[in-house]
Each structure stands twice: as structure tokens, then as C-alpha cells.
Amino acid sequence: MTDPKPSTNDILAKIRAKAASAAAAESGATSETPAAPSAVAAPLAVATPVGSAAPAAAPKSTADIMAAARAASKPAAAKAGSTPDILAAAKKPAGAAPAAGAAAKSPADIMAAIRAKAGAAPAASPAAGGSSATVAVPAAKIDPSKAAGLSAADMIKAARTASDGSPKAPPKVVLPSKPLPGKAAAAKTAPEIGRRSMLAVVVSAVCTWVVLAWTSMIAASVVSLLATARFMMPNVLVEPPTKFKIGPPNDYAPGTVSTKWQAQFNIWVVNAEVDGAQVIYALSTVCTHLGCTPNWLEGEQKFKCPCHGSGFYKSGVNFEGPAPRPLERVGFRLAEDGMLEVDKSVKFQKELGQWANSASFVGVT
């Protein structure tokens, strides 16, 4: 709290009273009315600031008297109105705080004063409502004389300082182990591979349909050409020749049935006695019932059809089963080279009296 500003009348009355008392003391006069000139000179002693060595010149006017009085009544710190004064006062430790009347003139001054207070006062505890970003500055670690003017970086650095005064070791940066050459090359070429992959995907996406279309068209064209070529070619049934030689007559012993050419030419070669003559002839292996292939049973001396059980003698005459007629003979002759020649294009049927045809057998002596 500062004293209220004295009015002009009060100041004048006080000065005059003091001047009168001083005059009376010096002259010893008993006069109660002070002279006007001495009343003007008296305020000089009153208005002189405390500690001033040389007395100031006697005020000549009311304004001078007022200025001297106000100068005497204000605290010394109140006169610090300039910026350097305010900064000097703000940077003082808490014990030397500026007077209440000192006012900060700029934001820089205000910051300087706050920093000075922060350096003097205990650091605020983070648990006392401060945010997590607030840096708690230990009071013991900051010299109050140096607190003023600290920047935020300085305060953070001070906060990181260990209690023993040594700075904390910076966070250890863990570097990855040195990659292998192959991995390094792979890591180095990873972006390039990524770009190539993207390019490959785009090219494949574009080319897939084109390639598929061209492939389909070419395949269809090839198939069409092959079908046309096959259409232009005649259907040929490849069959074994109908006329072939089966060797000399001595290869077929009398009274025997040879099945040597059954699989290849579908004939049996029989050397038998017919009507008192030893002849060789060839029988077709086609059953006269429904066309199955009978089997020669050497033990029973007969041909037995497995389909419906028809039986045929060695001569080819049917004797059992559903077969309606005897087996057929095929063309048979002795060729000029002495070989037996078979001509399957010619058939001889017994019921038609064709077995008597000399072209259906070869006589042997």
C-alpha cells in the first residue's frame, strides 16, 4: 500500500509549519507569524531527499515545492521508470524484488521478471496440475542470479541435468547392425524393384487380354486349317491285305488244324481228308450264327463258339448250337513259287455246293 498523494494545501501547510519552527529555533524570536520569504526558503530542508549530501537550491514557486515534495515522498525504486531500470529490477533475485510500484513496460520485461521469480521460487511439481509438457526445473540446479534471461532451451537443458550437476547422457541411439551385402543390395534396390513390380503389373494387366485374344485367334485359325485339311482328305480304312501267302504245304501236317494265322488274318488252315482225298483248305473264323470267333478245341477236335455254343467239325460243318450253316472257306491256291496263297475276297459255302470248287482247296499227295 502506498500513501495517498498529499494535496497541495497539505504540503504547503506542512512546509510552512516546519519553516516557522526552524526560524523560531534559530532566532529565538517570539513572533508567531512567519515571514513570507523565510517560509519559501524553509521547504528546502524538508524537500531534500534522504541521503542527499548537498542541499538543493531553494524553490521559488509552488511547482518547485511540489516537485521536491513528491520526489521526497516516493520510494527510490519508484523512480525506475526506464526500460533498463525495470530490466535490472526484474533480473534481481527474489530477495531483491523490485518495489511494488515498478511496472514492466514490455513483454520482454515481463518475461524477464517471471524468469527471475521462477529461479527464486521452488520448481512447480508436475503432479501439481501441470501438464505433461511442462518442464520442472529444480530450484537447486538453477542459479537464481542466472535464472533471468534463460531461454526455453536453457531451461530444458537444466531440467535434464542430473542431481549431481553432471549432464545426463543423451539418449543412446541404437544403430541397426550392418546388413549383409545381399540384404544391403536388396534394400538399396527395393524402390527400384517396387517400381519394376508396378510396371510389370501394369504391363501384364494390359498385355494379358491382348495376348489372350491373339492366342485365341491363332488357335482358332490353326484348328480351322486342320479341320479343312482333314475334310479334304478321303476316309481310308486301313485293312490287312485280302490276298497273302502262308508258306509251303509242308508246314501243315496232315490231320492238323493250324491257328497260326487266326489273329492276323482270321483264318484256320486245315490239312484233312475230304471224300478220300488229302486236301488243305482255309476256313474263315467267323461264326455263321452272329459273327463271333469260335475256338479250336484240340482235345475235342472241334470249333466251339463261346457266344452261343455252336459247334463245328474240323471240316467246318456245323453240328450243334444255333449256327444255321457250316463255316465258309476262302480262296486258296498253290502259287507259282510253291507257296500257299490265300484270297479272302473269295468265299465258298458248302450249302451252295461251292466247296467242290478247286479254288477252295489244294490237294496234297
β strands within the chain, DSSP E = 243-247, 256-258, 267-274, 277-284, 295-297, 302-304, 311-312, 318-320, 329-334, 340-348, 362-363
Give the nearest distance from C-beta 325 to ligand FES in angstroms.
12
251-310 residues in contact with ligand FES (CB under 6 A) are 287, 289-290, 292, 305, 307-310
Reduced to 3 states, what is the DSSP secondary structure of residue 163? coil
- Kindly state whether residue 327 participates in binding ligand FES, applying the rule CB under 6 A: no
- Closest separation in Å from C-beta 327 to ligand FES: 10
CA 219, 220, 225, 230 dihedral sign is positive
The least CB distance from residue 362 to ligand FES, in Å, is 27
Least distance from ligand FES to the Cβ atom of residue 222, Å: 47
Q: What is the grid cell recorded at 268?
A: 484256320
Q: Name the residue nearer to ligand FES (CB basis): 303 or 361.
A: 303
Which string of b and e fits 132-158 if b means at least 16 CB within 10 Å?
eeeeebeeeebebeebbebeeeebeeb
Residue from 323, 330, 346, 362 touching ligand FES (CB under 6 A): that is 323
**For ligand FES, which is the closer residue by CB, 6 or 322?**
322
CB nearer to ligand FES: give 149 or 322.
Answer: 322
To 5 degrees, how large is the angle CA 286–CA 292–CA 293?
60
Minimum Å gap between C-beta 294 and ligand FES is 6
Q: Residue 230: enclosing H or E segment and its boundaries?
A: helix 190-232
Min CB(291)–ligand FES separation in Å: 6
Candidates 313, 322, 354, 364; binder of ligand FES (CB under 6 A) is 322
Nearer to ligand FES, 271 or 310 (CB): 310
d(CA 115, CA 87): 11
Which of residues 258 and 288 has its CB atom nearest to ligand FES in the complex?
288
Q: What is the nearest approach in angstroms of ligand FES to the Cβ of residue 312?
A: 9
Start-to-end Cα distance in the chain: 170
**Pick from 148, 185, 141: nearest CA to 163:** 141
Nearer to ligand FES, 280 or 327 (CB): 327
Contacts of 364 (CB under 8 A, 6+ apart): 249, 254, 271, 278, 279, 280
- C-beta of 271 vs 318, nearer to ligand FES: 318
- Number of residues near ligand FES (by CB under 6 A): 12
Smallest separation (angstroms) from ligand FES to the CB of 320: 9
Residue whose C-alpha cell reads 547422457 in the numeric block: 169
Cβ closest to ligand FES, residue 72 vs residue 307: 307
359 vs 337: CA distance, rounded Å: 17
Distances (CA, A) of 332 to 23, 264, 267, 315, 344: 190, 17, 11, 15, 8
Q: What residues make contact with ligand FES under the rule CB under 6 A?
A: 287, 289-290, 292, 305, 307-310, 321-323
